[in-house]
A and B are shown apart, each in its own frame.
With several copies, the nearest count.
Chain A
Amino acid sequence: MIRKVLVANRGEIAVRVMRSCRELGLITVGVYSEADRKAMHIRYADEAYLIGPAPSRESYLNIDNIIEAAKKSGADAIHPGYGFLSENAAFSERCKQEGIIFIGPSAHSISTMGDKITARQTMTNAGVPVVPGTEKIRDEQQALEFAHQVGVPIMIKASAGGGGKGMRLVKDMDDLLPSFRTAKSEALNAFGDDSVYIEKYIESPHHIEFQILADRHGNVIHLFERECSIQRRHQKVIEETPSPLMTPELREEMGKFAVAATKAVNYEGAGTIEFIVSDSLEYYFLEMNTRLQVEHPVTERVVGVDLVKEQINIANGLPLAMKQEDLKQTGHAIQCRIYAEDPDHNFIPHPGVVTHITVPLGLGVRYDGYVYEGYEIPMHYDPLISKLISWGKTRAESIARMRRALYEYKITGVKTNIKFLEKIMDVPDFIEGRYNTHFIENNSDRLLSPKLCGTECEDMAIIACFIDYLDKIEKVQPQKFTEEFASTWKDFGRKRSVLRL
């Protein structure tokens, strides 16, 4: 049985994983780069080891250094969190070789699902619907043939890709070949591999994913869906469950496919099956995330499970404690991702020192974060500061509660997207649950316009500055300039006596 867990990550997810470890009575080991000596996960951990300089590839992505820390600390398991090495097949394999339990799937599962074309093929064989598309395109002739067969719009994607790089949307048949060539050259630059494939493009797509859990004994369950369509440049911003789009029948059907997809790769652990869903509720397998997702808390709240504890139980070889029929969605949960970024200036990331923070609390609010007052958010890593999760009996209550939580949430020192998120809570399309992945784009005027602060509100801002300024000069300015020189020496004496050295 696992006794000591090294968490090979940083930020909110490292703290979140350690919390569950602590509840299970496990010893936690943190690892940190030179930029992270003061990071919360190091303060939180029972033990801590330095694994290299600030850049991720020399620390959080350095497999040798992490394995060394695990051995030095005597950790018997490693939790990778999300990002960094969490979907790295070589890391999973290396842990196995070193006799350390990797809390996640096998190298085989990761690589099968990591290559999009292999994944598509595996899903097709398992009977899971996939977006009509090709394997690696051999030549321009094949690209033209497929395009004519399914019709525009189509999407060209890099086989090795992700995050929007090497992607090209083609709406007009004439653009096909030029876009095809650009995509290949981008793919080569970004991933060192110019393979691309083509898929039918879903015009008003919804991004809906299913959480799954699979144990070593062949038991697989799904924990229902998460709606992740509120995105900005392919970055999720808000997630919720249940999805406003979902019907009970569709949920059951998609859930069955999610379980089938998981079984097709002999998966073990927690994972996510992502689907793309059209407005008319046609759905297709998109990809599998072979790790914990950033948005896992909404599922935890509505289904009532601790997914990290489930991961650890599975890694311990235990059978799942729950059966599909035991699971039920209760109420509604929404997650907002709080980023250190400046929405007024094209969402440019904004590292810096957090000078003051007020965390939203109370009934139905969960806060997963890692920054504290005086902490300097480093420039080297992700701008995610925290995740705010609201629960309500109904979707309407969950939205009202999120609006209240965002109102309470205050961070000064770095710019954040809090007010941007607040505005989303007031957009009718969001309130009514009528949205797809174009939501932010479609509502950008409204979302980027400043909130009104009338004359009285402005005057209060001016007054606060002025009073602060007056009190500040009061403190440093001597009563009379001429007395200054003489009194300074006395002041020094006074200061000494106050400190009673």
Chain B
Amino acid sequence: MAYEIKLEHRNAQIEVLNRAGNKVVIAVDDRKYELDIVMVEKGVYSILYNGHSYNIELIEGETSKEYIVNTFARSFEAEIIDAETKYQQSRKLGTDAEGDNDISSPMPGKVVKIPVKVGDPVVSGQTLIVVEAMKMQSEFKATADRTVREILVSEGDTVNAHQVMMKLEESA
């Protein structure tokens, strides 16, 4: 069965043609690889292909279909695309603007300042919330002119990574 995998910019078709233990014959787009792949440590794969030794580290993302992949050269975000994912993506597409209106922090931290309040009109570039982690403050700014619809945290709160802290809406 062929799957689709998204590796940042790229969408690749992938299919296992044959597999016996470590030995796998696999097609990625129009390229066919005969290789030896084995998990050596939790989340760490060793691949031998055509004499070359590759080490790939995986961290599972928020769902079992999402990964952060580290190669020697760089780090990628990857996602397994199946029917369910496609359906969700199509839903998401329609509401894309809404996603942009959620303000969340990429890292855990502590809310130190919220210089706006619900109902405030804000302009692109205006600071909405300041989060501190590891003695450094990060300012989260509006990327477009909007109105503050909802504030979900208070000053002094601890937030997790990717937690939505504030919701904006298009100004009336």
Contact = CB atoms under 8 A, between A and B. Distances in A.
Interface of A: 29-30, 37-38, 42-49, 72-73, 340, 342, 345, 348-352, 355-356, 372-375, 379-383, 407, 410, 412-413, 419, 450-453, 455-473, 499-501
Nearest to A476: B64
A459 B33 contact: yes
Interface string B16-47: 10000010101010010101111111111111
B67 A351 contact: no
Nearest to B22: A37
Contact of A349 (B22, B26, B133): B133
A30 B158 CA distance: 27
Contacts of B31: 455, 459
Nearest to B135: A382
B91 interface: no
Contacts of B72: 407, 453, 457
B87 interface: no
A469 B107 contact: no
A355 B59 contact: yes
Contact of B64 (A345, A351, A372, A501): A501
Contacts of B5: 462, 465-466
A324 B158 CA distance: 52
Interface string B73-88: 1111010100000000
B121 interface: no
Interface stretch (B49-57, B95-103, B141-149): B49-57
A463 B58 contact: no
Nearest to B158: A379
B106 A462 contact: no
B78 to A, nearest CB: 5
A408 to B, nearest CB: 10
Contacts of A45: 53
5 contacts: A351-B108, A413-B59, A451-B73, A464-B47, A500-B65
Contact of A352 (B28, B42, B56, B161): B161
Contacts of A350: 106-107, 133
A345 B106 contact: yes
B12, B33, B134 pick with most chain A CB within 10 angstroms: B134
B12 A38 contact: no
Nearest to A40: B40
A363 B48 CA distance: 27
B106 A348 contact: yes
Nearest to A419: B74
B134 A382 contact: yes
B152 interface: no
Contacts of A462: 5, 7, 12, 14, 28, 78
Interface string B103-147: 000111110000000000000000000000111101000000000
Nearest to B3: A466
B160 to A, nearest CB: 10
A383 B136 contact: yes
A38 B63 contact: no
Contacts of A471: 39
Contact of B80 (A44, A342, A380, A469): A469
A122 to B, nearest CB: 30
B163 interface: no
Contacts of B70: 410, 412
Nearest to A384: B134
Q: Which 3 A-B pairs have the closest CB atoms?
A: A349-B134, A464-B56, A453-B73
A468 B39 contact: yes
Contacts of A374: 40-42
Given A340-B134, A472-B64, A501-B64, A412 B48 contact: no
B143 to A, nearest CB: 14
A166 to B, nearest CB: 16
A464 B53 contact: no
B161 A465 contact: no
Contact of B134 (A355, A383, A468, A472): A383
A450 B106 CA distance: 20
B167 to A, nearest CB: 22
Contacts of A410: 57, 70
Contacts of A44: 53
A348 B131 CA distance: 11
A43 B73 contact: no
Given A374-B42, A462-B12, 9 more contacts: A43-B53, A44-B53, A342-B107, A379-B158, A450-B73, A459-B28, A461-B71, A462-B7, A470-B16
B108 A379 contact: yes
B69 interface: yes
Contacts of A30: 53
A412 B53 contact: no
Which of A45, A48, A453, A465 has the most C-beta atoms of chain B within 10 angstroms of its own C-beta?
Answer: A465
Nearest to B10: A458
A380 B44 CA distance: 25
B45 to A, nearest CB: 4
Contact of B46 (A42, A356, A450, A473): A42
B166 interface: no
Nearest to A45: B53
A356 B56 CA distance: 12
A356 B133 contact: no
B11 to A, nearest CB: 10
Nearest to B68: A412
Contact of A464 (B10, B45, B161): B45
A42 B51 contact: no
Contacts of B73: 450-453, 457
**Which interface residue of A47, A379, A473 has the most chain B CB atoms within 10 A?**
A379
A30 B22 CA distance: 18
A373 B134 contact: no
A3 B133 CA distance: 37
A412 B41 contact: no
Contacts of A37: 22, 36, 38, 46
Contacts of A382: 134-135
